[in-house]
Chains A and B, each alone.
Chain A
Amino acid sequence: MTDARAAILARLAGHRTDQATIAAQAAALLDRVGPTRPDRVRGAPDAVFLQRLASPAIGATGERIATLAELPEAVSRYLAAHALPPLVAVQPHPELAGLAWAGIATHADITPDEAVAVGLAHGGIAETASLVFHSGAHSPTLFAFLPMHHIVALHAHSVRPWLEDHIAADPPRNVNLVTGPSGTTDIEGTLVRGAHGPGHLHVVMIGSNNDADPVAATRPA
Chain B
Amino acid sequence: MSADFTARAGAALADPTLKIAIDRTTITARTKRASAIAAWPEFPLARALGRDIKDHVIAHLDHYLLEFEANAIASGARVHWAETAQQACDITVALCRAADARSVTRSKSMLGEEIGLPHALAQAGIERVETDLAEHIIQLAGERPSHIIWPALHKTREQVGELFAREHHGALPLDTAEQMMASARRELREKFLAADVGISGANFLIADTGAVCTVTNEGNAELTTTPPRLHIVTAGIEKLVPSTAHAMSLLRLLVRSATGAELTQYTSFHRGPRRPGDTDGPTEFHIILVDNGRTRMRAEGLAEMLRCLRCGACLNHCVVFRQIGGHAYGGTYPGPMGAVITPILDGLAASHDLPNACTLNGQCQEVCPVAIPLPTLLRGWRDRSWREGLEPASLRGSLALWRFVARRPALYRAATALALPMMRLFARRGWISAMPLAGGWTRHRDLPAPPARGFMAQYAARQKAARR
Q: Provide the main secondary structure of the chain A interface.
A: loop
Task: Tell me the number of A-to-B contacts counted with CB atoms below 8 Å.
Answer: 253
Q: Are A140 and B46 in contact (CB under 8 A)?
A: no
| Residues of B143-200 whose CB lies within 8 A of A | 150-153, 155-157, 160, 177-178, 180-182, 185, 188-190, 192-193
Question: Within 8 Å CB of B155, what residues of A?
Answer: 187
Q: Is A25 an interface residue (CB 8 A)?
A: yes
Question: Within 8 Å CB of A4, what residues of B?
Answer: 81-83, 87, 291
| Residues of B237-253 whose CB lies within 8 A of A | 237, 242-246, 248-249, 251-252
If the complex has contacts A145-B219, A189-B29, are A177 and B131 also in contact, measured as CB distance less than 8 A? no
Interface segment out of the listed B220-228, B328-336, B355-363:
B220-228
Question: Within 8 Å CB of B261, what residues of A?
Answer: 57
Interface segment out of the listed B53-61, B395-403, B414-422:
B53-61
Q: Are A144 and B80 in contact (CB under 8 A)?
A: no
Beta-carbon nearest neighbor of B26 in chain A = A189
Question: Within 8 Å CB of B29, what residues of A?
Answer: 189
| Residues of A102-122 whose CB lies within 8 A of B | 112-113
Q: Is A12 an interface residue (CB 8 A)?
A: yes
Q: Are A189 and B25 in contact (CB under 8 A)?
A: yes
Q: Are A36 and B268 in contact (CB under 8 A)?
A: no
Within 8 Å by CB of A184, from B133, B222, B281, B289, lies B133
Q: Are B248 and A190 in contact (CB under 8 A)?
A: no
If the complex has contacts A4-B81, A57-B262, A188-B24, are A176 and B222 also in contact, measured as CB distance less than 8 A? yes
Q: Are A145 and B222 in contact (CB under 8 A)?
A: yes
CA distance A188 to B27 in the complex (A): 10
Q: Are A8 and B81 in contact (CB under 8 A)?
A: yes
Q: Most chain-A Cβ atoms within 10 A of its Cβ — which of B39, B245, B270?
A: B245
Question: Within 8 Å CB of A33, what residues of B?
Answer: 49, 245, 248-249
Interface segment out of the listed A42-50, A153-161, A164-172:
A164-172
**New A-B pairs, 8, CB < 8 Å, besides A8-B289, A33-B249:** A38-B39, A135-B281, A184-B218, A186-B152, A194-B185, A197-B220, A197-B222, A197-B223
Complex A-B, nearest 4 residue pairs according to Cβ-Cβ distance, in ascending order: A197-B219, A195-B218, A137-B277, A189-B25
